[in-house]
A and B are shown apart, each in its own frame.
Chain A
């Protein structure tokens, strides 16, 4: 294989590797926010997911069980979050910050015994026939299961949100919980489900980091990706297809970070590491500038406490 093909492959792998965890977390958060709940605890849920996935893989030797453990752990933290903001009517911003701080601490405590441990990472699954297509085959059809799953999730959620009755109800709950409640839909239960789904997806995103990206556990390994995912949802105007585009765009920014020095750019590594964070700020500014449009797209009840009146 020629050198340029190898280079292309490395670039594609970097983009996909950086985009996939963001994609999971952002898709989950998009569903949560569509129900009207703001989950600022995303970072904490990703961390808990990452450590749970890693621990389960070390114990069982099976990275797929690890992914499941990551999803379950993220869902569990989300359930806790829901208890506060949905049942106890707590402020969603403050509670989200609490979940993140708690997640940072708890994951560090649980993971302390696993620092330096190695695992067999999630294997790549080449899709038969398609993977043998020259050039494109190895670029597109030779990845791990989570990459395929994340892309299927985009399609599935697009169908769910726009073309199913359940998706319509979800949107109704997010736009006007009191109307949905008056029509007899269990607003709180639906919000719990959306929140738990979001937590599980954040957990899977975290699992991707500890099972594929590195693969190992280190304290605070998400490095703000949960917050980037939150910004991505705004950037994507709460639309699944745009979440995909946004996540891969961020993957593109990471290339500069990882391959910049290899390509002969003589900038200190710290400045390259700033790029994803700066890109998030820039993107957020660009998308928020038009406040009218932002308000149109945002679920109308996002972040507000809802208490059924009867």
Chain B
């Protein structure tokens, strides 16, 4: 009989081994799923994990997709540490895109270099605004932020859909639900010619480093860590829970909003009904796989970005539905949570010893 026995101390090694173990289990399960789907499993795994990044253009695409995932993931990670569950990042991203995209559409075509920085500010404000609603409802009315932030996501996506179907639709766009293409001054500069890799990558790296410093070196970072480790201790220490809820939601909202701005002014270049293929939700997985740590989130963001590229490639090469991406993402988080049990517990075979055992 297998049973779990608490470890005297949480295992540091398992904290880092667990994601690797989960990845391994995901690969094995993926192999089995591909066999069930009746395709050559080895070939499919190759097409999913290796082929998309086997040339430099593929690597650049990987980074393009990792940017929003890391940005959002690092914000969510701070919140999750403080037990603030913002799962509405997808909507905050959309609002950031709306705020920033609105400016890009509205300014005259002979505007200058001031537009792009202002779009960034607006993107951040849009995401913050949308995250401020669940923060207000949680701190003032005690409403669960998981449900409110998610409900507001649907509202934000519908609002974006209204805008591009209605008032912001490109008059010369053959009735497609899209805004006009952004002018050059409203588009993120490219880092490498011939790729879609844009300035957002550098911005993301700077922000990740900033959040890392914030968590490790500042008072608010300390409070976040203490609340995560022991909510009771935080209470005794007199940390104001409300202030932390606001901080966590505004930070994650701001970063999701910035990700939205980056998507519309970078790879997409206009407002469309769907500015993100679910980055806001996938970033939840990124945060957990990255162990809620900025460095880990960066690595996990690249890994999860690969799952998008892999899904797309699988569709092209083997004609499999793109939903494979979602299955791999879900499985990864599932296995991760299962493996995480080994951080606090170890597996023992046989019956518990009675002598010396707790009662």
Contacts and interface: CB of A to CB of B under 8 A. Distances in A.
Contacts of B143: 281, 284-285, 288
Contact of B337 (A95, A112, A231, A307): A95
Contacts, number: 142
Contact of B330 (A91, A98, A289, A291): A98
A108 B323 contact: yes
Interface secondary structure of A, over-half rule: helix
Contacts of B155: 274, 277-278
Interface string B323-353: 1111111110110011011001100000010
Contacts of B357: 310
Contact of A97 (B87, B144, B151): B87
A102 interface: yes
A18 B324 CA distance: 30
A88 interface: yes
B74 interface: no
A166 interface: no
Contact of B137 (A108, A268, A285): A285
B77 to A, nearest CB: 12
A236 to B, nearest CB: 14
Given A94-B337, A112-B323, A280 B281 contact: no
A109 B148 CA distance: 28
Interface stretch (A19-27, A52-60, A222-230): A222-230
A94 B146 CA distance: 11
A98 B333 contact: yes
A266 interface: no
A89 interface: yes
A281 B91 CA distance: 15
Given A101-B285, A285-B143, A89 B151 contact: no
Interface in B177-234: none
A291 B146 CA distance: 17
A12 B359 CA distance: 58
B158 A101 contact: no
A175 interface: no
A88 B341 contact: yes
Interface residues of A, number: 49
A280 B151 contact: yes
A310 B139 CA distance: 39
Nearest to B3: A87
B289 to A, nearest CB: 11
A105 B142 contact: no
Given A109-B321, A234-B144, A309-B359, A101 B152 contact: no
Contacts of B151: 224, 227-228, 231, 277-278, 280-281
A283 B340 CA distance: 36
A304 B101 CA distance: 43
B330 A268 contact: no
Interface in A230-273: 230-231, 234, 268, 270-271, 273
B148 A98 contact: no
B158 A273 contact: yes
Given A108-B321, A224-B150, A288-B141, A270 B326 contact: no
Given A98-B334, A101-B330, A105-B329, A230 B137 contact: no
B239 interface: no
Contacts of B150: 224, 227
B158 A270 contact: yes
Given A105-B329, A224-B154, A90 B141 contact: no
B330 A89 contact: no
Contacts of A40: 146
Contacts of B321: 108-109, 112
A153 interface: no
B108 to A, nearest CB: 27
Interface stretch (B57-65, B123-131, B161-169, B255-263): B161-169
Contacts of A91: 337
B4 interface: yes
A309 B5 CA distance: 10
B338 A94 contact: no
A105 B337 contact: no
Contacts of A234: 144, 147
Nearest to B162: A270
A104 interface: yes
Nearest to A269: B162
A307 B5 CA distance: 10
19 contacts: A88-B341, A89-B344, A90-B340, A95-B334, A99-B330, A101-B282, A104-B330, A105-B326, A105-B328, A108-B326, A109-B321, A112-B321, A231-B151, A234-B147, A270-B162, A278-B151, A281-B143, A284-B147, A289-B141
Given A105-B330, A309-B359, 6 more contacts: A98-B334, A101-B330, A108-B326, A228-B151, A268-B162, A289-B142
Interface of B: 4, 85, 87, 137, 141-144, 146-148, 150-152, 154-155, 158-159, 161-162, 165-166, 281-282, 284-285, 288, 321, 323-331, 333-334, 337-338, 340-341, 344-345, 352, 357-359
Interface of A: 40, 80, 83-84, 88-91, 93-95, 97-99, 101-106, 108-109, 112, 219, 223-224, 227-228, 230-231, 234, 268, 270-271, 273-274, 277-278, 280-281, 284-285, 288-289, 291, 294, 307, 309-310
